[in-house]
Structure 1
Amino acid sequence: MKTMQVREAKAGFSALVEAAESGEPTIITKHGKPAAAVVSVEDLRKLYPAKRRNFGEFLLTYPGGIELERNESPSRDIDL
């Protein structure tokens, strides 16, 4: 795994992206301390798998405990 400073990374950004695509991650340092890493999207998805849920599944995760009652009275008078 390569390590380089921010200044170097800016100058050779396209080379960093190509290296990441071929599976070679690079650590970017700022003031001598690791600050970021450039990795392939494949490696990123391994680290942070997408948790996609549809809206129905989201609603089913609601813990409940609240009883809601509907007010059946009309909110305004209607002339038809």
Structure 2
Amino acid sequence: MVKINVKEARSQFSSLLDIVQEGDEVIILRRGKPVARLVSLESKAKVLPSLKDFRTSIRSKGKGLSQGVIQGREEERY
């Protein structure tokens, strides 16, 4: 991971893109505090399929929201 301040990032943007393309990430600092992160689009693409797998692997438990709303309307609530 490379950390660089805004002024240096502006002057070295092309080389920062090369770093990111190689798979590393770049943190851009303003007054010593991180404000942005440059990452490769390919790294994001790798994460998305695993998120889809995760969503399909989890199952909801109990009643669905619509079933709860319908039941609440049918029952006496007061």
| Structure 1: unaligned runs, 5 residues or longer | 51-80
Q: Superposition RMSD on alpha carbons, in Å?
A: 2.6
Could you tell me how far 1:46 is from its partner in structure 2?
3.9
Alignment correspondent of 1:13: 13
Q: Give the letter for the 2:32 counterpart.
A: G
TM-score (norm 2): 0.57
Aligned pair count?
57
Post-superposition Cα deviations, 1:35-80, rounded to whole Å, max 9, x if no partner, equal 0011111113345x39xxxxxxxxxxxxxxxxxxxxxxxxxxxxxx
TM-score (norm 1): 0.55
| Structure 2: unaligned runs, 5 residues or longer | 50-78
Which has a greater percent of helix? Answer: 2
Alignment correspondent of 1:36: 36
Runs of 4+ with deviation above 3 angstroms? none
Larger radius of gyration: 1
**What is the identity percentage for the equivalent residue pairs of Structure 1 and Structure 2?**
37
